[in-house]
Structure 1
Amino acid sequence: MASSVFWLLAPPGVAALGAGVVCGRIPGLTARQRDMCRAAPDAMVAIGEGVRLGTIECQAQFRHHRWNCTAIGNSNVFGHVVVVGSREAAYTYAAASAGAAWSVAAACARGNVSACGCDPRRPRAPPAGWSWGGCSADVRFATRLARRFLDAREVEGDARSLMNLHNNRAGRKAVKATLRTECKCHGVSGSCTMKTCWRTLAPFRAVGDALMRQYARARPVMLVGRRLVLRASARGHGHRPREPRRQDLVYLDESPNYCERDLAKGSLGTHGRRCNRTAKGTGSCDILCCGRGYNTHQYTRTWQCRCKFHWCCHVTCDTCSERTEEYTCK
């Protein structure tokens, strides 16, 4: 596993050397994904880095929640990681898909992927006084490649597979929705008689924040025929079944409370988790510890302080100390 991940995240030239061998050894890949890996190993490096980026962002966003984006079940880079089809699973898949698209677009702009570069398209006619130029992020190519690779896993056609596909797409749309326009002025003596503008990726934290807002209003769905539709509770009683919006995160199952360890439901529990005794809401000991209470740990740290140099030639210091407390859930 470790060597396979190395090849995915290695520099493109290194990865390409053993692509035929390594792509066949990466766990969790379907036959179609292996073919794509062999055909474009430099792009697979970017996708692997993007999936890792999505995981890091998920962990940062949920660091104070009862569920803190801990991978449960298959620990492979490209495997299913959240067992229950919950809103947490929705965020996980969306973040991984967004990370893949974002990372590929960034790699294209740097020239690390041979099949792409800057986006040659211009979204609209520029206003007077400025023009499109520079290197716009080729999000169209990146989202198409991320879709082909990550969606290739979802071949079952069941409700969970359709849920994953929908959230994969929502993640990619978040990358496109957070694109920014940057401009540079041109002119004599610092004047701005002409502006050259291009479309650039927002920091991935902005994508993670956008997905977190979608997570907060994720929509419950159910399978009707071969498509997902909103549950009656989400669309209102008496209304016709309708599909969720493409940018929505969707889930099939209600989330467990994540208080106790239950691997069958994807929960490690919160026993031993650090909490904030004085906080209110997420991360507080009251919520994180699920009413079980918390343990208090006291620590004393000492160090040399207020040091003075005396001529000539020695230094004298005082000894300072600080007493701190840490709280962990029972």
Structure 2
Amino acid sequence: MLYSSKRKDLLTFNMAAVQLWITYAILLCTPTVQSLKWLSLASIPSSLSESQMEGIEDLCSRLTGLERRQKKVCRQHISMMSGVMNGANMSIIECQNQFKDRRWNCSMVDEHTIFGDIVNKGTREAAYIHAITAAGVSFAVTKGCSRGELSGCGCDVSKVGEMNGFTWAGCSDNALYGTAFSKKFTDARERVKNTNGRSLMNLHNNQAGREVVLKNMKTECKCHGVSGSCEVKTCWRSLPSFKQVGQILKQSFDGATEVKSKKKSQVGRMQLIPSSRKLKPFEVDDLVYLKDSPDFCEKNSTLGSLGTHGRECNKTSKNIDGCDLMCCGRGYRTIIEHVTDRCNCKFYWCCFVKCEECIKRVVRNICL
């Protein structure tokens, strides 16, 4: 009885903690006009179990960061919401990693709007954010299914039997399932109003992100046999690394196509076309944008720009991370720091590493 009582108290404590997190998230998800309000779900611990989320009365309706159709998807697939939270988190981190040397470095403006109003401006930055977040949900849900962390899905069961020279075995990542769920969830808001150029742009870039995940799936194999021979070879399909997804989308960001919206016919639906005949037609996995980006030199919270004052720059680089471009012509100051670091490390048998402490001179250039 004592064990049962302690366990009940622990469950009560855990549920109270979950309730606290959900309340916090609801406060963060204050109504805004931006199309990616659901990214505020990144504030909820993605480690919450399905039973914990189901224990919150009408959780999906209380998350005001979700659009009406997204709340419906949430109720229908409550187990997938931890995948959505994971996808939101990894997308924010990867975006910041890819743009750390740019004027716009994907910084979180605040916990309410995450990236600020830049997601609504039809720029290249908005294109990348939509693509990486849609890819993030696709990736996280697919991985969660493969690891058995999400109920109602699993490995790709179509990858069975023998092929030319190998046998399908192991757990192939079911990227088609993850992609389908991502489309259903991330496109929900835009499908309601896909008659304007910006919604069409967002839908296209969402799909571009998912296409990068699908097109970069890889086949991994393992040999089985005596002394390293490959008498039997088993293979399975795996997702690319999310870093690779972020890099490919970064290349698409740099080569994005400027577009405009146009009616297919007098009574037809709107479609996106290149803004100039000089521009090449865009593919399904290309990023597209409607408006030029601001320069991001000065702080503008509504645009999601923190400015470049105080940013570190590369004195010798002629690229965007160089001091001339990063500092927007304002100049920079050089500071010298002395930091203590481990050095001259040696391994001693058995089993420890012994290092010396060295003083290292570090030169940093900071934008004015």
- Is the shorter-chain TM-score for this pair beyond 0.5, marking a shared fold? yes
For structure 1, which runs of at least 5 residues remain unmatched after alignment? 237-241, 307-317
TM-score using structure 1 length: 0.85
Query: 1:255 is matched by which residue type in structure 2?
Result: S
CA shift, 1:282, in A, is 2.7
Q: 2:189 aligns with which of 144, 150, 153?
A: 153
Match of 2:176 in 1: 140
> Following TM superposition, by how much is the alpha carbon of 1:271 offset from its aligned partner in structure 2, in angstroms?
1.0
Amino acid at match of 1:93: H
How far did 1:235 drift? 3.2
Q: Secondary structure at the match of 1:195?
A: strand
Contact 1:7–1:14, Cα closer than 8 Å, also in 2: no
Matches within 5 A, 1:1-330: 2-3=24-25, 5=41, 7=44, 9-72=46-109, 75-76=112-113, 82-122=119-159, 126-127=163-164, 129-154=165-190, 155-157=192-194, 158-225=196-263, 226-235=270-279, 244-301=282-339, 321-330=359-368
Distance 1:227 1:125 in 2: 44
DSSP-derived class of the 2:152 partner: coil
Distance 2:312 2:133 in 1: 26
**1:60 is matched by which residue type in structure 2?**
N
Alpha-carbon distance in structure 2 between the residues aligned to 1:216 and 1:22: 39
Deviations 1:219-252 (A, max 9, x none): 111010211111115537xxxxx6x311110000
Between 65-74 and 244-253, report the one with greater CA deviation: 65-74
| Deviation of 1:215 (Å) | 1.1
8 Å Cα contact 1:73/1:81 also seen in 2: no
Q: Please state whether the residue corresponding to 1:245 is helix, strand or coil.
A: coil
Contact in 1 for aligned 2:257/2:279 (Cα 8 Å): no
In structure 2, the CA distance between the partners of 1:42 and 1:319, relative to structure 1 (3 Å rule), is: closer
State the TM-score, normalized to the length of structure 2. Answer: 0.77
Kindly tell me: are residues 99 and 106 of structure 1, through their superposed partners in 2, closer, same or farther at Cα, counting changes over 3 Å?
A: same
Tell me the number of residue pairs that the alignment of Structure 1 and Structure 2 aligns. 314
The offset of 1:77, in angstroms, is 6.6
Report the CA distance between 1:272 and its aligned residue: 1.1
Amino acid at match of 1:197: C
Percent of aligned positions that are identical? 41
Unaligned runs of 5+ in 2: 1-22, 27-40, 264-269, 345-355
After TM superposition, the structure 1 stretch with the greater mean CA deviation from structure 2, 226-235 or 29-38, is 226-235
Structure 1 distance, partners of 2:314, 2:99, is: 15
Q: Secondary structure at the match of 1:142?
A: helix
